[in-house]
């Protein structure tokens, strides 16, 4: 009899605890899902702006398909240089590129002039390039990341 009284007294407390834990967990999952959705939306907006920048500044040399001419202009599509040398890639878009580089095992030695883009524009075009054609990067290039890249 004492056990039954104790059980009925403790039971609502335990239920309340488990309910609070469960709803807190669900609430945290909702916040995580919202955060992921917001980050994906930010990336999609950046990619859209980057597409316009690519068309205006990059497509003349790297072509609409991102493959370059494979003689003087390196490919951006499937470029190991973009993924392995992320900071140098950002630096090249931000300040231009001069001198030899190796992309996908092939050497290129040409000049890419500075484009005069803002940090936001560099981030946007990098997000476009790194998520177009066969490129699929999960880490978004941010304006803060671009701002932290200095000229050599």
135 in Cβ contact with 129 (< 8 Å): yes
Q: How confident is the model at residue 6 (pLDDT cuts 50, 70, 90)?
A: very low
Residues 124 and 120: their CA atoms lie apart, in Å, by 6
Q: How confident is the model at residue 146 (pLDDT cuts 50, 70, 90)?
A: very high
Residues 80 and 87: their CA atoms lie apart, in Å, by 13
pLDDT tens digits along 103-130:
999 999 999 999 999 999 999 999 999 9
For the whole model, what pTM was predicted?
A: 0.79
Q: What pLDDT does residue 21 have?
A: 56
For residues 28 and 73, which has the higher predicted lDDT (pLDDT)?
73
């Amino acid at each position: 009899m004492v056990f039954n009284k104790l059980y009925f007294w403790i039971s609502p407390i335990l239920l309340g605890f488990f309910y609070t834990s469960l709803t807190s967990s669900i609430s945290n999952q909702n916040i995580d899902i919202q955060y992921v959705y917001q980050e994906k939306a930010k990336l999609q907006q950046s990619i859209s702006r980057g597409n316009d920048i690519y068309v205006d500044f990059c497509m003349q040399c790297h072509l609409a398909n991102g493959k370059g001419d494979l003689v003087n202009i390196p490919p951006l599509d499937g470029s190991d240089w973009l993924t392995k040398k992320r900071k140098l890639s950002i630096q090249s878009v931000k300040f231009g590129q001069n001198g030899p580089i190796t992309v996908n095992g092939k050497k290129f030695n040409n000049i890419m002039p500075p484009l005069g883009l803002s940090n936001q524009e560099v981030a946007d075009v990098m997000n476009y390039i790194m998520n177009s054609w066969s490129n699929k990067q999960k880490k978004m290039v941010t304006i803060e990341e671009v701002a932290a890249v200095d000229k050599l």
